[in-house]
Amino acid sequence: MSDVNNDIVLEIKDIHKSFNKLEVLQGISMEVKRGEVVAVIGPSGGGKSTLLRCATTLEKVDAGRIVIGGDVLCDEVDGHLVYCDKKLEKEIRSKFGLVFQNFNLFPHFSVRRNITEALIHVHKKSKPEADAICDGLLKKMDLEAKADEYPCNLSGGQQQRVSIARALATNPEIIFFDEPTSALDPELTKGVLTVIKELAQEKMTMVIVTHEMSFARDVADRIVFMDGGVIVEEGPAYDLVTNPKQERTKAFLAGY
Amino acid sequence: MDETNQVIRTLFMTLTQLVQGFGFTLAIFGLTLLFSIPLGLLICKGRMSKIPVISLICRFYISVLRGTPLMLQLLLVYFGPYYMFRVSLGNDYRFIATIIAFSLNYAAYFAEIFRGGIQSMSKGQYEAATVLGFSKSQTYFKIILPQVIKRVLPSVSNEIITLVKDTSLAQVLSVTEMFTRASAAASKQVSVMPFIVAGLFYYAMNLLIEFILNRVEKSMSYYS
Ligand SMILES: Nc1ncnc2c1ncn2[C@@H]1O[C@H](COP(=O)(O)OP(=O)(O)O)[C@@H](O)[C@H]1O
Ligand SMILES: [Mg+2]
């Protein structure tokens, strides 16, 4: 396990993943540089979520190499897949954030506690430190007034912004988004996309699975088009959307 | 006048006897909850275990304990040691056997209630906790359990109220709890009055319990 490049926050090399007999990821490779925003697009069932879940330790790959923030999550050693130990896995989990389609906020915690709980109990920050981080993030998310609310009293858009704040709180090197606006009404989508756009301007490294083509085109540096468990095409965001090379990409984009 | 006096005296006597028995009733109630809830959690964990043998044993346990009369279980726990091993465990064992049988029985019901609650939790809650770096036990105690408690409270309340009434089954082991005393007083006085008084006791206790449980439920209603 070697060859770690510090400018590359995420390295995925030839990963494979099957569920029962269905090979959902059939050799995916990608690299994400520090400060880069990569959008992942493609038809439903193409393996986008599975890719994110493998990168975020929620699923284990069958083969391949994943490196996050310089730490090797898994790699092939002498033709055998080797996963890192629990300690390093925990370390790796502190290097990324994950934003889910349906938020997955903790309903029994206030907005503040949703954001500070991991800071205090995983990252061992003091309560005042955690509160300060939380206040800063809520301000950024335009949710200052909601610190003491419970998630059930917020709109979907507000809940998603809280979950973005929760993912940002631990100051990760990279954030993964899995269709962050797909569960939202169209009018609530805008606020969430605006927040992500601001993060892009601040050079936050992000991988975003999305169906918002104009957002992907305008905000992402690079777009990866996935279908049937493989990367069909990738390239600079604007080029890929306006001038796709592959027939499958063209057909997919024609639907938007 | 004399007759009224007589009635009041009998009533007073009955009350004294029942109150003495009520201590046992409370003890059976409290100790059963104390033991059966943790045991229920344990059996629930076993029932959901990935190890087939453990899961199967817990399934069998739950099925048998829920599928046979509590009265039979009481008799078995009390008489079992003597009939099977010829050991005599003394007079105190009546009460101990009662607590054992009640705890084993109620644990089976609680296990199934907890399992329903835990399985109703979305996978997303575990996943969110995992990627935030929470350990397995932190996830369980901070994220999952508090939500499960809220979800199972109505069913648990049901069991608690049933338990109040079930304590009367300890009569079969001649534990001198309230109902045993009420029966004795009733046959001695040739009157149903002791039963009615006992009924009032059970009902009053359940009213109080309902009140408390409602308060607890309300205290958790700040989120949905
Ligand atoms: N846990 C799972 N068990 C079995 N099949 C799964 C599982 N997760 C995903 N799949 C299958 O993998 C394929 C890709 O799914 P997914 O990664 O969710 O695609 P996408 O996010 O691009 O819509 C689908 O056919 C889906 O049914
Ligand atoms: Mg998906």
| Distance spanning both ends of chain B, measured CA to CA | 61
Q: Whose CA is nearest to atom 6 of ligand 1?
A: A19
pLDDT given for residue A2 in this prediction: 46
**B125, B130, B131 ranked by CB distance to A106: nearest:** B125
pLDDT greater than 80 at residue B146? yes
Task: Tell me which of A15, A17, A18, A19 to substitute to probe ligand 1's pocket, judged by most ligand atoms within 8 Å of the beta carbon.
Answer: A19
The C-alpha atoms of residue A169 and residue B128 are separated, in whole angstroms, by: 14
Looking at the CA of residue A52, tell me the nearest atom of ligand 1.
17
Tokens at residue A82, please? Answer: 């080797």
% of residues, chain A, pLDDT over 90: 95
Distance to chain A for B127, nearest Cα, Å: 7
Tokens at residue A83, please? Answer: 């996963």
Mean predicted lDDT score pLDDT of chain A: 95
pLDDT given for residue A215 in this prediction: 96
Residue-wise pLDDT for A160-172, tens only, equals 999 999 999 999 9
Residue B178: name the closest of B205, B203, B201 by CA.
B201
Residue A152 CA, chain-centre distance (Å), reads 24
pLDDT given for residue A1 in this prediction: 44
User: Given an 8 Å threshold on Cβ–Cβ distance, is A121 in contact with B224?
Assistant: no
pLDDT given for residue A4 in this prediction: 54
The C-alpha atoms of residue A123 and residue B72 are separated, in whole angstroms, by: 54
**DSSP letter for each residue of chain A:** -----TTEEEEEEEEEEEETTEEEEEEEEEEEETT-EEEEE--TTSSHHHHHHHHTTSS--SEEEEEETTEEEEEEETTEEEEPPHHHHHHHHTTEEEE-TT----TTS-HHHHHHHHHHHTS---HHHHHHHHHHHHHHTT-GGGTTS-GGGS-HHHHHHHHHHHHHHT--SEEEEESTTTTS-HHHHHHHHHHHHHHHHTT--EEEE-S-HHHHHHH-SEEEEEETTEEEEEEEHHHHHHS--SHHHHHHHHT-
For residue B185, how many C-alpha atoms fall within 13 Å in the half-sphere facing its CB? 26
ipTM for this model: 0.94
Residue-wise pLDDT for B87-98, tens only, equals 777 788 999 999
Confidence band, pLDDT 50/70/90 cuts, at residue B83: confident
Q: Are B28 and B177 in contact (CB under 8 A)?
A: yes
Q: What is the mean pLDDT of residues A227-232?
A: 96
Supply φ then ψ for residue B46, to 5 degrees: -65, -40
pLDDT given for residue A141 in this prediction: 94
The C-alpha atoms of residue B119 and residue B44 are separated, in whole angstroms, by: 11
User: Given an 8 Å threshold on Cβ–Cβ distance, is A170 in contact with B224?
Assistant: no
- Lowest-confidence segment of A198-212, B58-72, B152-166, B189-203 by average pLDDT: B189-203
Which DSSP state fits B175?
-
For B130, the 3-state DSSP assignment is helix
User: Given an 8 Å threshold on Cβ–Cβ distance, is A104 in contact with B124?
Assistant: yes
Q: C-alpha dihedral over B177, B178, B183, B186, to 10 degrees?
A: 140
Distance to chain B for A155, nearest Cα, Å: 14
pLDDT greater than 80 at residue B153? yes
Confidence band, pLDDT 50/70/90 cuts, at residue A189: very high
Q: Are B182 and B197 in contact (CB under 8 A)?
A: yes
Indicate whether residue A210 lines ligand 1 (CB < 6 A).
no
Q: What is the mean pLDDT of residues B188-214?
A: 93
pLDDT given for residue A6 in this prediction: 67
Q: Whose CA is nearest to atom 16 of ligand 1?
A: A47
Nearest residue in chain A measured CA to CA from B131: A93
pLDDT greater than 90 at residue B64? yes
The C-alpha atoms of residue A254 and residue B61 are separated, in whole angstroms, by: 59
pLDDT given for residue A155 in this prediction: 96
pLDDT given for residue B220 in this prediction: 92
For B71, the 3-state DSSP assignment is helix
pLDDT given for residue A3 in this prediction: 52
Residue B146 CA, chain-centre distance (Å), reads 21
The C-alpha atoms of residue B10 and residue B14 are separated, in whole angstroms, by: 6
Mean predicted lDDT score pLDDT of chain B: 93
Nearest residue in chain A measured CA to CA from B138: A121
pLDDT given for residue B3 in this prediction: 80
Residue-wise pLDDT for A28-82, tens only, equals 999 999 999 999 999 999 999 999 999 999 999 999 999 999 999 999 999 899 9
Chain A, 139-158: which have a CB under 8 Å from a chain B CB? 150-152
Name the pTM for this structure.
0.89
